Each structure stands twice: as C-alpha cells, then as structure tokens.
Amino acid sequence: MKITECEADRGGAIYTSSCVGVINNSTITGNTAIEYGGAIYNSNSNCDMEINNTEISNNSVTSGHGGGIYATGSLIINGNTVISNNTASKSGGGIKVGKNGRITTNEGIIKERLIKLLENSKLSAVYLPLSP
C-alpha cells in the first residue's frame, strides 16, 4: 500500500479508532495532520498497532504531536521499518505514544537502531510518557 500527500485534522494518511491490527509492506510519505499523527493516528488506547517493513517519512503535524505516528495504545515495530524526516510542532517528531502506551519490537530495532530509524525527525524523535 502506498499513501502520499493526504491531509486531515487527525491521522494525515490513516486514522483509526478501532483495532486496525497490522500495516505491512507500505510507504506512507508526505502526509499532513493538524493535531495528531502526520501519517498514522490510532485513537484506541486498548489496541496494539503493528507496523512491518514500512517506510514512514516526510510527514508532519502542524499544531500538535506525533509527526510520523501518534498511538494512544501500544506500538509494535518490526522488520525493515524506517521512520525518518517527520516533524511535529509540539512533541514526538517521529513517534508519540499516549500515557498508557508502549513501544516494542521483536527485532531490536528500537534498541539498536533508534537514532537511524528516526533520523532527522524534528522536535524529539520519540515521546514516551513517564510512568507514575
């Protein structure tokens, strides 16, 4: 799937309030949102979103958070997923995860290549809330 140059208030390319499940082998570039998730916004904090072998780049949020991805639930990143050159006006240039969410990976991407994956994402690459 390829999604480019879309605009929305939330989720420039993809907005979901249900358990969307998995995004595989996709390119999501050049999209814009006003508030949350320049590329992807998942508003359901009870659902995990999994992203595999996907490029998420050059997306932006003009007045909010999560230039690449804003996930209120948990985010699972696998395979050769690349998240780069995304921007947000407030926080999480690459990724913002909500207060009950978490980021995990089965292939060590976050641990080993976080800087490379989120290269050039403006205004903090990843925003994770602090645990109470």
Q: Which long-range contacts (CB under 8 A, 24 or more apart) does 79-83 make?
A: 79/52, 79/53, 79/54, 79/107, 80/53, 81/51, 81/52, 81/53, 81/54, 81/55, 81/56, 81/109, 81/117, 82/54, 82/55, 82/56, 82/57, 82/117, 83/56, 83/57, 83/117, 83/118, 83/121
pLDDT at 13 over 50: yes
Q: How far apart are CA 119 and CA 18, in angstroms?
A: 30
Name the pTM for this structure: 0.84
**Which of 32-41, 59-68, 72-81 bottoms out in mean pLDDT, i.e. has the lowest?**
72-81
Task: Report pLDDT digits (tens) over 80-103.
Answer: 888 888 999 988 888 888 877 788
Confirm if 106 and 79 have CB atoms less than 8 A apart: no
| For residue 15, pLDDT beyond 60 | yes
Model confidence at 77, pLDDT cuts 50, 70, 90, reads confident
Residue with tokens 């969410």: 101
Residue 89 CA, distance from chain mean position: 15
